[in-house]
Structure formats: C-alpha cells, structure tokens
A = this chain, B = another copy of it.
Amino acid sequence: MIRFSSRMSELTGSEIGDLLKLTQQPDIISFAGGLPAPELFPVEAMKEAGNKMMEEMGSAALQYSTTEGYLPLREFIVNRMKDKNGIETFAENIIITSGSQQGLDFSGRVFLDEGDVVLLESPSYLGATNAFKCCQPKFVEVPTDDEGMIVEELEKILAKEKKVKMIYVIPDFQNPSGRTWSLERRKKFMEVINKYEIPTVEDNPYGELRFEGDSLPALKSMDEKGLVIFLGSFSKILVPGYRLGWVCASEEILSKYNAMAQAASLQATTVGQMHTMKFLELNNLDEHVDKIRAVYKKRRDLMLRTMKEEFPDEVSFTHPSGGLFTWVVLPEYINATVMAKECIEEKVAYVPGESFFPNGGNKNTFRMNYSCMPDDKIVEGVKRIAKVIRNNLK
C-alpha cells in the first residue's frame, strides 16, 4: 500500500469540488467560477504582439531565463503599482510567479510550519486556504464587517496567540465577499501589524476593477517595516492563460520567495513574460481595463438589481464597488450546500459559502460571480435561484 504524506489528507477532493465539476456542464448558467469574460480578451492585439516579440527576441524567448523574471516586465509592474496602488518599490523587490496562486503557495511555504497559526478574514479565498493547507497550519478566522477586517478582534487574537506567523488579507473587492476595506481600517490594521511585526500577505488580483469611487492605497504603500507581501496578477486585467502574477516584498522576504521559486518550478514562462511585455508596450492597458470595468459594472448592476427584485426579503447580499463577486446570506436555517444541488437541477450554479471558511460553518451563505455571463443569463439564472430559495423558506 502506497503511503502518501500527511498533508495529502487535507487536500482530498471535497464535496465542493464534486459540485464544481457539475457546474461545467454546458447547459448550466454558472455563477460559480471566477473567470474573466473571454469576449474581452484582446485576441488580435495579443497575436500581433506575439509576432513582434518573436521577431525581436528570437531564441531568447524560448530559452530558460532567470527565476526573478523578465526585467522590463518587472519595471512595468513597478510603475503600475506606483500609479494604481501608491506603492513605491523597485524591480529588485519583484519576482514573477506562475500566476498569483503560486504566490499564495510560496507564501505558505515561506512562513508556515505545521501547527503555526495563519490569520485570515472570515470568510476568505478558498484557493488561498487550499494553498496554505499544504503546510498544515492552524487557521484562525478574524471577524469582518463592511469596512474590512475588524482590527480590535485581530488585536485580541494577536495578544493571545503566540504562533501567528502570517496574516492573509484581500483588502480590495474581497473574494468571496466583494467587500473593500475603508482607508481608516487600513491605517488601523497597519498600526497593529507594525506593533506585532507579523508578515502580511496582501492579495490584490481585483484592485484595478473598480466601478465607482476612488482607489484606496494598498497596505503595502503604508508598509514602513517591510512586513507586507503584495501579490499582483495579470489574470483579471489582461489574460489568465499565461499564468503570470507577481510578488512584491522587502529584499529579505523576497530572497526566501526566490529560493522557493527555484525549488518549485525554476521560473515563470519566458515566452509568456516577453509576449505580455510586448503587448504592454504596443497597447494601452488602462484603456483595456476601462473596457473590462464598463462591462463588469453593467453585469454587477444587472445582477444586483435582479437579486433585489427576485430574492425574498429574508436574503441579504453585498454591494461590491468592484471586482467579480457578490456574497449572499440566506436565513440561518437554509443550507446553501444542499440548496446548490437543487439549483443544479434547475441548471444554475453558485459556490456554497462554507468552503470559504477554513474552519467550516456558515452554511447559509454563497458566492455569486457576475463577470462572465451575458445579460440574459444573469437575469434568468438569478430568477431560477430565487425560485429555489423561495421553495426553501419556512
């Protein structure tokens, strides 16, 4: 009998995984994924950029390259983070990863031994907890409200728990809740982590997808002690198909991520980095992101409006000002995991909320994605879910 490592018992395919497979049937209206809208991908411009890049770079594009990544791309990222997130940094503080998911995996492995404590928002991103589980930590969920992580609760936990090695947060258009931390909350949070000196992973894949209001500075922009590790991604602002993300951190921390990257996969795709950079040289990314924001805003408006019209009054949901998701809270007696199966019979899907709580519970919640379904399907899908909810009301 083959003996696997103990971490594998924490990574077994879950009920949720089986459910998500069902949502891939073509006739299902799925609000379950988190895919960007493919009709917005700049296919022609990417093709052109690919050609130009191959002409200019030749065999260098097809060869191994450095672990830290393609310098012009890292310089582009430095400028972009300054412009969009208020972060002052240097190319030396950035490595390119094979998607942000790899940044999450490295974060767990750089900081967490078995039994160490990782703090995160309650709820938090499923893919992050899944990555961290490989290191077998203890998850402590910090309560949140509409302004973000509740800092008083965080401080209570930090005063008590001695093995906190890392905090993981998504301050902008959080996955799954759609919420964004207020400026006040960001400042208070930084005060606390500066006091306790706990490394904090700030995951920011959606920050540029703001529909209204002003951008807020990243935690990383207020980081005076080099405690914040910022994760960025091209997946939601350009395309996910190359799997390109980045990590921005202090030199000391980044050197650990670099060592981990060498062990894990040597480097991100050379071709992909050069191709992406050539696209960025030849095109205006701001204009492209504007297009995405306009479409997602329209879809958010439509989904929220339809939910307001169709969902019973007992159901509440968040009003995200950007990003890809809204978060629905049902009456406590309705189990959204059970209800998901009834929805799939009606050919509509969402992700049950309990999978976003590493310690379980909260079965009366679910996550809805609005970025990748056309208008008519948004309306029809929400109506179907509303019908199933009504059937479950007491």
Query: Contact mask A125-137 → B, CB, 8 Å, 1/0?
Result: 0010011011100
Cα-based distance from A7 to B106 in the complex (angstroms): 12
B6/A113 in contact, CB under 8 A: yes
B residues near A127, Cβ cutoff 8 Å: 263, 266
Query: Contact mask A210-246 → B, CB, 8 Å, 1/0?
Result: 0000000000000000010000000100011111000
Q: Looking at the assembled complex, report how far the CB atom of A196 sits from the nearest CB atom of chain B, in whole angstroms.
A: 11
A259/B8 in contact, CB under 8 A: yes
| Interface members, chain A 270-285 (any B CB < 8 Å) | 270-272, 275
B residues near A266, Cβ cutoff 8 Å: 99, 101, 127, 243
Scoring A55, A111, A133, A253 by chain B CB atoms within 10 A of each residue's CB, the highest score goes to A111
Query: Contact mask A50-61 → B, CB, 8 Å, 1/0?
Result: 110011001111
Cα-based distance from A102 to B64 in the complex (angstroms): 15
Q: Tell me which of B6, B101, B110 contacts A4 (CB under 8 A).
A: B110
Q: Tell me which of B41, B114, B260 contacts A62 (CB under 8 A).
A: B41
Cα-based distance from A47 to B271 in the complex (angstroms): 11
Closest to A270 in B: B241
Cα-based distance from A131 to B261 in the complex (angstroms): 10
Q: Copies of this chain, how many?
A: 2
B residues near A265, Cβ cutoff 8 Å: 97-99, 101-102, 105, 243, 265
The verdict on A171 contacting chain B, using a C-beta distance below 8 Å, is no
A2/B199 in contact, CB under 8 A: yes
The verdict on A30 contacting chain B, using a C-beta distance below 8 Å, is no
Query: Contact mask A246-266 → B, CB, 8 Å, 1/0?
Result: 000000110110011011111
The verdict on A294 contacting chain B, using a C-beta distance below 8 Å, is no
Known: A110-B4, A111-B5. A11 touches B263 (CB 8 A): yes
Cα-based distance from A133 to B262 in the complex (angstroms): 12
B58/A264 in contact, CB under 8 A: no
The verdict on A46 contacting chain B, using a C-beta distance below 8 Å, is yes
B242/A5 in contact, CB under 8 A: no
Q: Looking at the assembled complex, report how far the CB atom of A355 sits from the nearest CB atom of chain B, in whole angstroms.
A: 13
Known: A110-B5, A269-B242, A269-B269. A263 touches B131 (CB 8 A): yes
A5/B165 in contact, CB under 8 A: yes
Q: Tell me which of B65, B110, B271 contacts A8 (CB under 8 A).
A: B110
A109/B130 in contact, CB under 8 A: no
A62/B239 in contact, CB under 8 A: yes
Cα-based distance from A109 to B262 in the complex (angstroms): 15
The verdict on A159 contacting chain B, using a C-beta distance below 8 Å, is no
B residues near A63, Cβ cutoff 8 Å: 35-36, 38, 41, 239-241
B residues near A97, Cβ cutoff 8 Å: 265
Q: Looking at the assembled complex, report how far the CB atom of A113 sits from the nearest CB atom of chain B, in whole angstroms.
A: 5
Cα-based distance from A311 to B212 in the complex (angstroms): 72
The verdict on A39 contacting chain B, using a C-beta distance below 8 Å, is yes
List 23 A-B pairs, Cβ < 8 Å.
A2-B197, A5-B109, A5-B111, A11-B263, A13-B255, A46-B54, A47-B54, A47-B55, A51-B51, A64-B240, A98-B269, A99-B265, A99-B266, A101-B265, A101-B266, A102-B264, A134-B260, A134-B263, A242-B269, A242-B271, A243-B266, A243-B268, A272-B272
Known contacts A3-B165, A61-B241; 20 further A-B pairs (Cβ under 8 A): A2-B197, A2-B227, A2-B252, A5-B110, A5-B135, A6-B113, A8-B256, A41-B59, A46-B62, A47-B51, A62-B242, A63-B239, A64-B241, A98-B98, A127-B266, A131-B263, A131-B264, A241-B270, A242-B270, A265-B265
